[in-house]
Structure 1
Amino acid sequence: MGPSIWCKQRSQCDSHDSWERPHMKRFLAAAFGAIALTGAAFTQDEAQITPAQSNVVYGMVSGAAMLMDVYTPIGERNGFGVIVVPGSGWYRPEIYSAPQLKDLTNYHYVRNVVKALNEEGFTAFVINHRSSPGNRFPAAVNDTRRAVRYVRFAAEAYGIDPDHIATLGHSSGANLATMAALMDDEPGDGLDAIDQTSAAVQATVGIATPFMLAGDPEEASAYAAQTIAMYTGRPFFGMDNHYQASPPTAVAASPAAYADAGDPPLYMIDSMDDPIVPVSQGDYMLTVLNETGARYEHVRTEGGEHNPAFDMAAMAAWLEDVLGE
């Protein structure tokens, strides 16, 4: 293993055959702090937007409502829907006063992305999902897929095309958005009509994405290892361990483990100076995508750290082109 590229300080990190790829060990050493994987202040002008519909119930889990906010286009609709997953480190405090994940009031970065989507005619669905420590993988992935099913099921009511839906996320939310896109489309566990609706999407956007959660424990900070362990619910052993014959849960929770040529197109954005999700995560995913022949567009920036400063209009144009195919 080469030099460590794990986040070393809290201030910096606040059953598949495909996981045994020949280049796996080159880019595994990366992990992500639970609390710091949230939206930091955005340097551009803060967008002022409000949802057209708030607290829409997209599913119920053991009596608890899974909620989303709906942001409608500014002007003409293009008929495309995007499920948006904000970052959180897969974590939310288990207290009544904790802000909802979908609340973009202080999440300026994702709020600007949603505004850019609305300006280009997209309808955006910003979701809550179950989080650690109370809920482990794959709960948040299942919730993201349930949100896709709901939006497809209710597409007519929202004025969107059910056959042209995308996911988009930032940080841990990008992990979930791309997981939902790259996993095989299977019926949900529930018996209702929504859960029997397809969770397939036709495009996905990942911003500062943790693509591979496994790594070398000797190079991981205790904080980073704790974050992954809290999300997966398993001790963090990394790839080089005696459980290697049975892939660790951290690999199963990694979008890179599911990539293949049949996946929807991926628009991936990363930053050279990201102190939380190292650029090696993008490098590793590029290796996987090129090996599998998957379709992607890659944008690498510098200067935005964990909130990459990218051309949002160009991203929206790419989404519209791909969804319009």
Structure 2
Amino acid sequence: MSTLRTPSADRLGRLLNLVPYLLARPGIRVAEAAADLAVTERQLREDLELLWVCGLPGYGPGDLIDMAFDGDTVTISHDAGIDKPLRLNPDEALALVVALRMLAETPGIGSRDAIERALAKIESAAGDLAGAPVAVKLPANQERLTAVRAAVDSGNALRLTYYTAARDETTERVVDPMRMLTVGTFAYLEAWCRRAEATRMFRIDRIDAFTVLDEPSRPPVGAVPHDMSDGVFRPGPELPLVTLRVSRGGRWITEYYPVEDVVEEPGEWLVTMRVTDLGWAQRFLVGLGRDVTVTGPPELVEQIRAAAHAALDQYAAPHALEADPATGR
């Protein structure tokens, strides 16, 4: 199963190839270069404009890539050292080793052989640094991650036993895998969920069990991969809107969770945010205690009030069994 490439990844590959291509062809016509690189003239000109602000740290005169346009032709006049052999200092070499080890651990990478070859070359050049005690592992059971990856590569549908944290429940569902990817620090399976009749993201560490079915994975034509540029959770107007009054001790939630609006008032902030499930919001906000006061929606306010009263009743109720002082039982 091939990995779906993102537009940013495609553009990075073009830019890395563009400078040596133009260096070998001074004065080439833009139309000819666009045809060779399989892009439109407009896209090529946009790539060239981006190259103008790329170069070496310092980013002043003599540091940036420069080029000259003569009519419809283009020539690289300063390559900012891109044609020189790469020389890494110890910190740079170690950073590349760690990054490539992480990339090799990433599920769904189609060019794994190329990654391993590049890693072997850099480890050889880095010498003793390559043996530094740096372990790179994704935050999911490696055996499970490898097993799910192999199941996805089989091209068949899967039956999942999946824990949904937002609703605090475990469900069974049949899915048609589309790709595996890593977002932030978590590995995900993206698939068409037949139960939800929509594309869904399944965190690998929340898949309790799975079975490979004897039928091919066939996502419908309308199954479109999610745009991960802004993360997994993309709040929309269809989700419940929660309104909070947050004291100083709870302001950290505006940095860790997507919020729609923050109004600073004396001594507190008025925060509005979208949530996928009011049950999850209840459990999350009760745990914040007095740092947060929920003002809406009314059903969430009532759920939190009921949960708080139930907790107080547990403290107030006498113990059903008292220990015998003589026996300790």
Please classify the TM superposition score into its range, dividing by the shorter chain length: under 0.3
Relative contact order higher in (CA < 8 Å, ≥ 6 apart):
1
- Larger proportion of strand: 2
Q: From the CA coordinates, give the structure whose radius of gyration is larger.
A: 2
Structure 1-normalised TM-score?
0.21
- Larger proportion of helix: 2
Structure 2-normalised TM-score?
0.21
